[in-house]
Amino acid sequence: MPGPMGRGMRAARAIGGQRPARLLLIETIMLSLSRQFMPHRSLPCPARRRGGFSLIEIVIALAVLGTMAAGVYLGFNSINTYAVTSRLYTEAQTAAQNQIDLVLSREPFDCSASGAYISGTFNPALKKVPVELMTTAELDILASSGVTFPAAAPTATPALSSSYYPYYPYYRTGSGQPISRQAFIYQDPVSGKVTVTGALTTTAVDTGTTMTFAGATNNLNVRRVTATVSYSFRNKNYTVAMDTLRTADQ
């Protein structure tokens, strides 16, 4: 008759023959080679010949693979969105910088009493102030002199005989508003559809800077110009603005 020690050893072997559930789960998730190609030694001989994955193991493996695939897709989509956003922001910065450079280089700019204000009021016919440096009040006078700005970005070049031709492609949304123009267009490389359109607005303000010399106070005719690029991408609004100061030539 076997003793207590012998019965304990047989019970331990019987319990050890069953693999814990947590080890089966780990092997299923890791797709263990031993579960794919090698039957468990603890199974009887007929079960060894029928070795394979159970339905639960396959479902768990597919769930893990699906979660990983979804994470990879979301990651690549976020990277692509970030790349397009950075590209649009760079284009907006470039458009604003180009407008600032244009403001600093346009000639002539003479709004003194002997220039555009020779008659005491602004006279746009003298062409002494570039349109990029005109204040909203001066733009209103320009519009009242016969120059008709469109209310939206023009789709075609006006005729040479049009009074608006020298100011193309700027437009104004209404009286008292600064000038604007189309800044850039982003076109989808696959579908060819225009997805983003930027608008560049140029606002000029007379700073009223004066200097007293020889007992006389003179206006230095310094204007602050702000170039603002606005656009929307994926239901979000973005704005890039740059400022500069420009002193009159005389």
DSSP string, 17-32: TSPPHHHHHHHHHTT-
> Would you say 35 and 28 are in contact if contact means Cβ atoms under 8 Å apart?
yes
pTM: 0.69
> Would you say 166 and 184 are in contact if contact means Cβ atoms under 8 Å apart?
no
Percentage of the residues of the chain whose pLDDT score is greater than 70: 79
Q: Is the pLDDT of residue 41 over 70?
A: no
CA distance 102 to 201: 13
Q: Which of 136, 110, 126, 127 is nearest to 204 (CA)?
A: 136
Average pLDDT, stretch 218-229?
A: 92
Instruction: Identify the pLDDT of residue 8.
Output: 45
Average pLDDT, stretch 58-69?
A: 83
For 193, the token pair is 């559809």
Sorted by where each begins, the domain ranges of the chain are: 4-52, 88-247
> Would you say 49 and 40 are in contact if contact means Cβ atoms under 8 Å apart?
no
Comparison of pLDDT for 222 and 9, the residue scoring more? 222
> Would you say 243 and 226 are in contact if contact means Cβ atoms under 8 Å apart?
yes
158: exposed, middle or buried (Cβ count in 10 Å: 0-12, 13-18, 19+) = middle
Q: Which of 223, 170, 175, 220 is nearest to 200 (CA)?
A: 170
